[in-house]
Amino acid sequence: MSTTENAPLLQVDNLVVEYPSKRFRAKPFRALTDITISIGRGETLGLVGESGSGKTTLGRAVLGLAPVTGGRILFEGQDISHATRRQRRTLSRDLQVVFQDPYTSLNPALEIGDILAEPLGVQGMEQSKAKTRVKELLDQVGLPSDALHRLPREFSGGQRQRVAIARALALSPKLIVCDEPVSALDLSTQARVLDLFLQIQQDTGVSYLFVSHDLDVVRHISHRVAVMYHGEIVEQGPAELITRDPEHPYTQRLLLASPVPDPDRQEQRRADRHRLLEIQRQQHEQADALA
């Protein structure tokens, strides 16, 4: 047991994910190449990248929703790369998920109470106990207790995302994979949901693997940040460093591409961006000339 105490909560070593091609004998599609990350207890690792960079696939691989073709995923020192459904059931007490789209991550036909009780029921919790727990959860995510017998469509996007967070919290997990949990939300709602994530971490000491395309969001919520590009991690380190003074050319471009809400500072940023692109272009040409 002592070894698992010191080991990180989640350890991903040289992970490779490949999807078999639909076409006969065609090469499989490689979604992730040689991914190595780790998350400690109570820590948030922010995962940033653009669409198709593989950041969502990494989260899904940890959850057992994407095929692991190479490397290992260790949770509390235990290899879960190819966990069976039975092992997953045990694992689900410690490892949970909040998805991007609050409209499709809740079954429209089920009442909120039933949705929240689902993970409890899988673990064999008694109904009366589960009921108490569900009420606790609603309170924890700031939803009224009369939400129990209502359907998802009666709630706004932000409220639904709170339901999804409550479902993830139901079994008091140690790690929650958050896949773009605020990108479908309006600005002011996003702020409140981010506050909720931070509050929950303060209260429970849960760890997050927080996937987002938005550097500002990732900077705000993460202790450490990993940047993904074309299925690889190009850079990772402390959030402040990576999101303010990145080394990798792609992260530099990403940072300067995001506009700031002030015309004059944005003009400055735009000029900086054009300068950066010009420098990178010249470097690229020099590299080509050398080769």
- Exactly one of 41, 72, 131, 253 binds another protein (CB under 8 A); that residue is 253
Specify whether the CB–CB gap between 32 and 15 falls below 8 A: yes
- How many alpha carbons lie under 13 Å from residue 248 in its C-beta half-sphere? 17
Q: For residues 59 and 54, what is the distance between their CA atoms, to the nearest angstrom?
A: 9
One DSSP character per residue, 171-221 reads T--SEEEEESTTTTS-HHHHHHHHHHHHHHHHHH--EEEEEES-HHHHHHH
* Least CB distance to another protein at residue 110 (A): 8
* Least CB distance to another protein at residue 43 (A): 12
In the bound state with another protein, the residue whose beta carbon lies nearer, of 91 and 130, is 91
- Exactly one of 34, 79, 126, 240 binds another protein (CB under 8 A); that residue is 240
In the bound state with another protein, the residue whose beta carbon lies nearer, of 14 and 153, is 153
- Exactly one of 262, 272, 278, 285 binds another protein (CB under 8 A); that residue is 262
Choose the stretch contacting another protein; rule: CB under 8 A; options: 1-9, 10-18, 34-42, 106-114: 106-114
* Least CB distance to another protein at residue 6 (A): 25
- Exactly one of 67, 101, 234, 241 binds another protein (CB under 8 A); that residue is 101
149 DSSP assignment: G
Residues 199-228 that bind another protein (CB under 8 A): 199, 213-217, 219-222
Q: For residues 37 and 78, what is the distance between their CA atoms, to the nearest angstrom?
A: 15
Partnered with residue 38 across adjacent β-strands are 11
Specify whether the CB–CB gap between 174 and 206 falls below 8 A: yes
What's the chain's length in residues? 291
Choose the stretch contacting another protein; rule: CB under 8 A; options: 9-17, 31-39, 84-92, 279-287: 84-92
The contact mask relative to another protein for 42-81 (x = CB under 8 A, - = no) is --------xx--------x--xxx----------------
Residues 134-193 that bind another protein (CB under 8 A): 142-143, 146, 150-151, 153-159, 162, 164, 167, 185-192
One DSSP character per residue, 105-141 reads SS-TTS-HHHHHHHHHHHTT--HHHHHHHHHHHHHHT
Q: Is 124 in the site for another protein (CB under 8 A)?
A: no
Q: Which of 207, 232, 252 minimizes the C-alpha distance to 57? A: 232
Site size toward another protein, by CB under 8 A: 83
Q: Is 100 in the site for another protein (CB under 8 A)?
A: yes
- Exactly one of 26, 263, 287, 288 binds another protein (CB under 8 A); that residue is 263
